[in-house]
Amino acid sequence: MSFTQSSLKIGELATGQDLTIPIFSYECESATGPSVYIQANVHGAEVQGNAVIYQLMKLLEQYSICGDITLVPLANPLGINQKSGEFTLGRFDPITGVNWNREYLDHKVDVAAWYKAHDALSDADLIAQYRAMLIEACYQRLNSEWGITTGHQQAVNLQVMAHQADIVLDLHTGPKSCKHLYCPEYDAKAASFFSIPYTLFIPNDFGGAMDESIFCPWWQLTEHMKLAGRDLKVPVSAFTLELGSQEKINLEDALVDAKGILAYLSERGVIEQKIVPARMKRYACHLQDYKKYHSPLGGMVEYLAEIGEPLKQGEPLANILRLDLYGTDKTITPLSINKDCVPILHFASASVYQGTELYKVMTKVFEI
């Protein structure tokens, strides 16, 4: 098999040139498995997903593909090119200040009304009609007579492609981060296939991210149908994969993650061959137990707690250095957390304001 390359216009620059993104696609002649959409680099500094897509493309050439696949690396050209010196600043739209990954359309479907009008349909027809409705809502948004922001236009164009797939993977990284997976609670079994040690199980609430924009409308529909006495398994799967730290690419590590994705695609029947997932310990917590620790004061930070390593209650988390207070007992302020946790990521810089989000940690962790 081989991929076909094309491009999609997602906006226009101030100088008039088209703003485009590359797309790699494979279309089965007679698909028997789910369709797949994978994107990377929605945040400008989060480049490792491009390496994973590269490795995944090379691996897929060796297998029999049973479902359509769409791959979108470099999904945010504005963010990727938003540089300041040696740093990439592309986490927030510089015009509106909105996080690029919070620009997707919240459908706010009245599922009760929609289902009442379509409950006579078969499962297959109901799924097709609901998908068509979601895609049409995206096009209506894109064609609003009042226009939409640059960031929203880019995001909703990506969302249109994602809504056409049965499996959606959004590849990200953290600032200084270990690998972790955002997985909807209804699809918890999927976490055992990816080569990712930590999973956050997320509820049926839209927070603005790509994965939520895809699975929330379907999850809400199936929950309503269950109350009405009709069972339908949520027909789409959507995940955010956090693949380590930003501003770097590691091709060897990307191959590990590509193989984990391949194992999941194998389990779902996207490829014909059976791929065994990596043998490793995997841990999880619920999103409500994923905590942010904010710096109690400004200063220079010595990060002590290792990401991905369990931290016991009261063990050192970080030190804050305040040279302006030299000669007092406040020159060094040790920080700790009053509960067992696993630090998942920490702030990238060693200089912080008071209130900076220093660490994100998992609490109430369990093995899966």
Q: What is the 3-state secondary structure (H, E, C) of 23-65?
A: EEEECCCCCCCCCEEEEECCCCCCCHHHHHHHHHHHHHCCCCE
Question: How many other CB atoms sit within 10 Å of the CB of residue 112?
Answer: 13
Closest Cα to residue 215, out of 155, 167, 269? 167
Is pLDDT at 29 greater than 90 in this prediction?
no
β-pairing verdict for 316-321 and 299-303: antiparallel
CA triplet 28, 29, 35: central angle to 5 degrees? 30
pLDDT in tens, 97-111: 999 999 999 999 999
Amino acid at 145: E
d(CA 153, CA 143): 10
Taking residues 162-186, what's their average pLDDT? Answer: 98
Instruction: Find where tokens 């620790």 sit.
Output: 293
Instruction: Find where tokens 């999103």 sit.
Output: 287
Question: How many other CB atoms sit within 10 Å of the CB of residue 241?
Answer: 26
For the entire predicted model, the pTM comes to 0.96
pLDDT of residue 314: 97
Taking residues 180-207, what's their average pLDDT? Answer: 97
DSSP state, residue 328: S
For residues 155 and 243, is the Cβ–Cβ distance under 8 A? no
Is pLDDT at 344 greater than 90 in this prediction?
yes
Residue 206, CA distances (Å) to 37, 220, 282 in order: 20, 11, 26
d(CA 191, CA 106): 25
d(CA 195, CA 54): 17
Instruction: Find where tokens 């929605």 sit.
Output: 42
d(CA 140, CA 149): 14
149 token code pair: 């922001």
Instruction: Find where tokens 């609901």 sit.
Output: 130
Buried (b) or exposed (e) across 344-358, using 16+ Cβ within 10 A?
A: bbbbeeeebeeebeb
Is pLDDT at 1 greater than 80 in this prediction?
no
Confidence label for 40 from pLDDT (cuts 50, 70 and 90): very high
Confidence label for 2 from pLDDT (cuts 50, 70 and 90): confident
Is pLDDT at 315 greater than 80 in this prediction?
yes
Residues 6+ apart with CB under 8 A from 194: 181, 239, 241, 257, 260, 261, 263, 264, 277
Residue 29, CA distances (Å) to 1, 26, 60 in order: 11, 10, 16
CA torsion angle for 284, 288, 289, 291 (degrees, to 10)? 120
pLDDT in tens, 141-165: 999 999 999 999 999 999 999 999 9
pLDDT in tens, 281-305: 999 999 999 999 999 999 999 999 9
Is pLDDT at 313 greater than 90 in this prediction?
yes
Residue 70, CA distances (Å) to 35, 89, 137, 203, 337 in order: 8, 27, 21, 27, 43
pLDDT of residue 8: 95
Closest Cα to residue 261, out of 66, 41, 64, 56? 56
For residues 346 and 307, is the Cβ–Cβ distance under 8 A? yes
Closest Cα to residue 353, out of 293, 294, 292? 294
pLDDT of residue 158: 98
Average pLDDT, the chain: 97
Question: How many other CB atoms sit within 10 Å of the CB of residue 189?
Answer: 10
